[in-house]
Chain A
Amino acid sequence: MDLAWTVIGAFTYLVLGYFFVLNSVYLATSIFAFGALRRYSMRMKSYNLDELVTSAGAPPISLIAPAYNEEATCVESIQSLLTLDYPEYEILVVNDGSSDSTLDRMTAEFNLVPTARMAIGDIDTAPLRQVLRSLRHPNLWVLDKDNGGKADALNLGINYCRTPLFCAMDSDSLLERHALSRIVRPFLEDADTVAAGGILRIANGCVVKQGQVVDVRLPRNVWAQFQVLEYLRAFLSGRMGWDALQATLVISGAFGIFKREAVVSAGGYATDTVGEDMELVVRLHRTMSEQGRPYSIHFVPDPVAWTECPENLRSLSRQRDRWQRGLFQTLTRHSVMLLNPRYGRVGLLAFPYFFFLEMLGPIVESLGHVSFMAMVVTGRVDLLFGAAFLGAAVVLGTTLSISAVVLEELSFRRYPRISDLARLFALAVVENLGYRQLSAWWRLKGMISALKGDVGWGAQTRRGFTAEGR
């Protein structure tokens, strides 16, 4: 029995070590992000990007937006795409066999008629039913196909894409007017760029008119509020920091831009994973490194896609479960990259971080909680020390979240009211008292589902954007 407790005790120290390493990485990426955001802001002041892009040779872009049962948001989203401030782009909405009125709503709103268009690529996809084109907006096309999932829909879009760059996005996201001219910057500055991702922000609570967010507000729903802070941390501290280290491993499926040729030569999106966005980026890293081709993948912090986040525990838990499964599927599929110097910083830094800390983290954390509680109950923990440790964890979590708010203030200041700032500070404290633990639990469930081989997406409900805010 004593041996068992010794093992549990030793495991608890392992959890402490994990906690220390994880937070050190968070701290390090925040510091790198601080420098990178400062440099980015100064650079944006040094040259007028919009003038640069609109007057110079902005490469034409195809926006590929898969839509599956998006009747609540598809019209607003397409309207936002039609008002983008970019010289040359076309919109390919891929209706992925929706069973609701998505196609009817789009047809009525945008005056769609059947037309002809030849596929340029030959990635295998579910069959195409028809190609429709808007009589009102010549750059709007709808590819109507049998249901095959998001990755399959994106692959069909790539087959019909005839521009050197394509932008993969969710049809329920709203792009800001300047989003394309900002996200295309890495492709102008570095000819070796094969992919770039923008930032995702939470649209819940914001006032949306004609497909554009006109008043940024924090949502009233508490779960959505937590996600606002989470997204700030993930994008401004996390992705910006990893980008500064030139080891971007994730580009959100809701808004990323890719060199078509690179994606096609890597085989397009994988249709057998729920994390097709991360899988593609990891595969691009792998393929390009193995082929010895110079390449770079970037995160750009100011092109914004606004997205509607889940507002109830059930949807949120399903989303996190799916994200964790996607992470597991991607990292195990490309495990050859783990700690492999052949893949440079990605193999030696980013991949191990995601593998050991993000993928295995929920298991370590959950077992840590259990062993810690067992030791508390059996009197094997010095209570004062335990309380002090919990206190340190809360203060550390709060500090990291507040540092993400500082990064937001240093750079983009999207939440204009002082009261929003105060609420974000309060959330930074409160989220440590339940939300983070819940999040760890959902991720653990995701790991279990992944180990069981579950590949389903789970139903998603959309409430739609609003002109009043919510």
Chain B
Amino acid sequence: MHLLGLPITDDLRSVALAFLILVIVVLFVLALGFGSYALLLRIRHDRREQLWESLEEQWQEPVLLALADPEAMNAVHETIRAPYRLHFVRFCVEYALRVRGKERETLRKLAAPYLPPLRQSADDADVAIRARAIQTLGALGLPTYEETVVTALDDPSPIVSMVAARALARHGHPLYASEIIKRLGRFGGWSRNFMASILASMGPESAPALRSGYANAEEAASVRTVIGYALRLLKDLEAADIAADIVEREEDPDLLASALKLLTVVGRPEHASVIRVRCVSEQAAVRSFALGALGTVGSDDDVPQLVEALEDPSPWVAMHAARGLLAAGGHQRLRDMVKLDHPRAALAEQLLLEDGAA
């Protein structure tokens, strides 16, 4: 007796065959199970969609009326049946993320009676449930649930802490800025520009707290770098002296880059001297941003240095120098380069075209 080319006893053959048949049956049942599950998922999802659509339709008009006239809020509550309270909260969150000021306050009041169960969810073992609860409380429950949301900044899950930071930033209270800045080190894995945008989204009221963190030499360079980018987004004029101080004293290239970029936006002529020193840095990135900043805050005397930097071996440095030159009003120099077929003529022409000054 052969099974697959090799001899085999009858007993072994029977065992192998029985095993194979068992495998087929199990797999068949599994395939049927998967198929039924997929169908069930589809049906359940379609029903949920229908329910959600009908609820939205039911709430849309009274909520819009309440947003226009807060007196009409009671009429909204009458339309919310007990099983759909959390659905209503979700409905309000979607609106709340798109509006500010009085309208958000109205939504907050509308949702307030239905938020207490979410306070418990914020301590749930499941990360997704915690994150969703914090998102909701952050959108509709501040400042009532302030403590819960601030505590979530220390949540072991980076997603929950980020959701909390986003919620606090969206609310924009200056006190929250300090809470987030204190924990910026926790968000080290996130992109710097992204974190800076979150901080900047809190508005100019957060600038004093940001400045204080930026000036603090004890703070990690990575944290100060993020703060520098946030201050640049806020175009915070008062941060210029701190940035100049960083350019003068610090050596971390990322921190230097953030300070030089900040000076490009808010620097003053008196900062040019510290910037000039960095224009000959060995690091191309630092050189680039220094030349860009010099173009904005420097004087006519700096134009030759910018022109010279156009021939820098790094095309990035040359590009920043050309931009600096444009900012310093050196359009004619760039036009001359195009005419004289300078090695960087293409760059000059490109920037003039982009500037609309060709």
Q: Is the CB of B34 within 8 A of A406?
A: yes
Indicate whether A399 reaches chain B with its CB closer than 8 angstroms: yes
Q: Is the CB of A375 within 8 A of B35?
A: no
Q: Is the CB of A52 within 8 A of B30?
A: no
The one of B2, B30, B132, B318 in contact with A381, judged by C-beta atoms closer than 8 angstroms, is: B2
The one of B27, B45, B135 in contact with A392, judged by C-beta atoms closer than 8 angstroms, is: B27
Q: Is the CB of B163 within 8 A of A47?
A: yes
Indicate whether B42 reaches chain A with its CB closer than 8 angstroms: yes
Q: State in angstroms the CA–CA spacing of A403 and B187 once bound together.
A: 36
Q: Is the CB of A13 within 8 A of B17?
A: no
Q: State in angstroms the CA–CA spacing of A398 and B135 once bound together.
A: 41
Given contacts A5-B5, A375-B4, A395-B24, contact A406 B189 (CB under 8 A): no
Indicate whether B283 reaches chain A with its CB closer than 8 angstroms: no
CB distance from B202 to the nearest CB of A (A): 12
Q: Is the CB of A9 within 8 A of B4?
A: yes
Indicate whether A42 reaches chain B with its CB closer than 8 angstroms: yes
| Interface stretch (choices A54-62, A220-228, A274-282) | A54-62
Main secondary structure of the interface of B (DSSP, over half): helix
Add 9 more A-B contacts to A402-B35, A405-B38 (CB < 8 A). Answer: A12-B4, A46-B131, A47-B131, A120-B315, A380-B2, A381-B3, A382-B3, A409-B37, A425-B38
Q: Is the CB of B189 within 8 A of A190?
A: yes
Indicate whether B99 reaches chain A with its CB closer than 8 angstroms: no
Indicate whether B58 reaches chain A with its CB closer than 8 angstroms: no
Residues of A within 8 A of B349 (CB): 115-116
The one of B45, B97, B346 in contact with A51, judged by C-beta atoms closer than 8 angstroms, is: B97
The one of A57, A117, A402 in contact with B196, judged by C-beta atoms closer than 8 angstroms, is: A57
Indicate whether B166 reaches chain A with its CB closer than 8 angstroms: yes
Q: Is the CB of B192 within 8 A of A421?
A: no
Q: State in angstroms the CA–CA spacing of A62 and B27 once bound together.
A: 47
Nearest first, the 8 A-B pairs at minimum CB distance are A9-B5, A42-B128, A46-B131, A57-B197, A116-B349, A57-B193, A118-B347, A56-B197
| Residues 309-353 of chain B, each 1 if its beta carbon lies under 8 Å from chain A, else 0 | 000000110110000000000000000000000001111011001
Residues of B within 8 A of A57 (CB): 191, 193-197, 233
Indicate whether B31 reaches chain A with its CB closer than 8 angstroms: yes
| Residues 114-152 of chain A, each 1 if its beta carbon lies under 8 Å from chain B, else 0 | 011111110000000000000000000000000000000
Indicate whether A341 reaches chain B with its CB closer than 8 angstroms: no
Indicate whether B112 reaches chain A with its CB closer than 8 angstroms: no
Indicate whether A192 reaches chain B with its CB closer than 8 angstroms: yes
Residues of A within 8 A of B190 (CB): 188-191
Indicate whether B64 reaches chain A with its CB closer than 8 angstroms: no
Indicate whether B142 reaches chain A with its CB closer than 8 angstroms: no
Number of interface residues of A (CB under 8 A): 65
Q: State in angstroms the CA–CA spacing of A42 and B34 once bound together.
A: 21
Residues of A within 8 A of B23 (CB): 392
- In the complex, which residues 1-47 of chain A have their Cβ closer than 8 Å to any Cβ of chain B? 5-6, 8-10, 12-13, 16, 39, 42-43, 45-47
Which residues of B come within 8 Å of A, CB atoms? 1-6, 13, 16-17, 20-21, 23-24, 27-28, 30-31, 34-35, 37-39, 41-42, 45, 97, 127-128, 131-132, 135, 158-159, 162-163, 166, 188-198, 201, 233, 315-316, 318-319, 344-347, 349-350, 353
Q: State in angstroms the CA–CA spacing of A211 and B106 once bound together.
A: 40
Q: State in angstroms the CA–CA spacing of A395 and B24 once bound together.
A: 7
Residues of B within 8 A of A313 (CB): none
Residues of A within 8 A of B201 (CB): 55-56
Main secondary structure of the interface of A (DSSP, over half): helix
Q: Is the CB of B315 within 8 A of A421?
A: no
Q: Is the CB of B159 within 8 A of A47?
A: yes
The one of B5, B35, B127, B188 in contact with A425, judged by C-beta atoms closer than 8 angstroms, is: B35
Q: State in angstroms the CA–CA spacing of A369 and B163 once bound together.
A: 54
Q: State in angstroms the CA–CA spacing of A253 and B289 once bound together.
A: 34
Could you show 17 A-B contacts with beta carbons less than 8 Å apart? A12-B5, A13-B6, A43-B131, A52-B166, A57-B194, A57-B195, A59-B191, A116-B345, A116-B349, A381-B4, A385-B20, A391-B24, A405-B34, A405-B35, A405-B38, A409-B37, A409-B42
Residues of A within 8 A of B39 (CB): 418, 421
Q: Is the CB of B191 within 8 A of A188?
A: yes
Closest to B169 in A: A56
Residues of B within 8 A of A191 (CB): 188-192
Task: Name the residue in A118, A119, A188, A425 with the highest tally of chain B Cβ atoms < 10 Å from its Cβ.
Answer: A118
The one of B1, B24, B159, B192 in contact with A382, judged by C-beta atoms closer than 8 angstroms, is: B1
Q: Is the CB of A385 within 8 A of B191?
A: no
Q: Is the CB of B31 within 8 A of A398?
A: yes
Q: State in angstroms the CA–CA spacing of A466 and B70 once bound together.
A: 50
Closest to A117 in B: B350
Given contacts A55-B201, A192-B189, A402-B34, contact A382 B2 (CB under 8 A): yes
Task: Name the residue in B1, B42, B131, B201 with the highest tally of chain A Cβ atoms < 10 Å from its Cβ.
Answer: B42
Residues of A within 8 A of B158 (CB): 189
Residues of B within 8 A of A438 (CB): none
Residues of A within 8 A of B132 (CB): 42, 45-46
Closest to B18 in A: A388
Indicate whether A413 reaches chain B with its CB closer than 8 angstroms: yes
Given contacts A118-B344, A402-B35, contact A389 B20 (CB under 8 A): yes
Given contacts A48-B97, A57-B193, A382-B13, contact A421 B38 (CB under 8 A): yes
CB distance from B15 to the nearest CB of A (A): 11
Q: Is the CB of B17 within 8 A of A6?
A: no
Q: Is the CB of B316 within 8 A of A388?
A: no
CB distance from B2 to the nearest CB of A (A): 5
CB distance from A392 to the nearest CB of B (A): 5
CB distance from A306 to the nearest CB of B (A): 22
The one of A6, A395, A421 in contact with B31, judged by C-beta atoms closer than 8 angstroms, is: A395
Residues of B within 8 A of A115 (CB): 349-350, 353
Residues of A within 8 A of B3 (CB): 381-382, 385
Residues of A within 8 A of B20 (CB): 385, 388-389, 392
| Residues 358-397 of chain A, each 1 if its beta carbon lies under 8 Å from chain B, else 0 | 0000000000000110010001111011101101100110
Q: Is the CB of A47 within 8 A of B28?
A: no
The one of A10, A56, A395 in contact with B6, judged by C-beta atoms closer than 8 angstroms, is: A10
Indicate whether A89 reaches chain B with its CB closer than 8 angstroms: no
CB distance from A197 to the nearest CB of B (A): 18
The one of A43, A52, A119 in contact with B315, judged by C-beta atoms closer than 8 angstroms, is: A119
Q: Is the CB of A47 within 8 A of B315?
A: no
Q: Is the CB of A120 within 8 A of B189?
A: no
